[in-house]
Amino acid sequence: MTENRMGTRQVELEVLRYNPETDQEPKFQRFTVPCVNEWCVLDALNYLKDNLDSTLSYRWSCHMQVCGSCGMMINGEPKLACKAMLRDYAGVIRVEPLSHFPIERDLVSVADDFMAKLKRVKPYLIPGEKRTLADGEYKQTPAQLERYKKYAMCINCMLCYAACPEYGLTPKFIGPAAISLAHRYNQDSRDGGRDERQEEIATSEGVWECTFVGACSDVCPKHVDPASALQQVKVASTVDWYLEHFMSWVKK
**38, 3 Cβ separation under 8 angstroms:** no
Which residue, 94 or 234, is less far from other proteins as judged by CB? 234
In this structure, what DSSP letter does residue 64 have? Answer: S
- Residues 199-227 as b or e (16 or more Cβ within 10 Å = b): ebbbeeebbebbeeebbbbebbbbebbbb
The residue within the footprint of other proteins, chosen from 35, 103, 159, 178 (CB under 8 A), is 103
Considering only residues 37 through 76, tell me which ones interact with other proteins, judged by CB under 8 A. Answer: 38, 40, 49-51, 53-69, 76
Output the CA–CA distances (angstroms, integers) from residue 68 to 113, 157, 217, in the order listed. 16, 4, 16
Task: Supply the minimum distance, in Å, between the C-beta of residue 119 and other proteins.
Answer: 5
The reply on whether position 147 binds other proteins by CB under 8 A is yes
Considering only residues 198 through 237, tell me which ones interact with other proteins, judged by CB under 8 A. Answer: 211-215, 217-218, 225, 227-228, 231-232, 234-235
Q: Which stretch binds other proteins (CB under 8 A): 148-156, 172-180, 197-205, 241-249?
A: 148-156
Which residue, 170 or 204, is less far from other proteins as judged by CB? 170
CA 60 to chain centre: 15
> Judged by CB under 8 A, how many residues of this single chain contact other proteins?
98
DSSP letters spanning 170-226: -TTS--HHHHHHHHHHHT-TTB--HHHHHHHHSSTTTGGG-----HHHHH-TT---H
Task: Supply the minimum distance, in Å, between the C-beta of residue 184 and other proteins.
Answer: 9
The reply on whether position 137 binds other proteins by CB under 8 A is yes
The reply on whether position 83 binds other proteins by CB under 8 A is yes
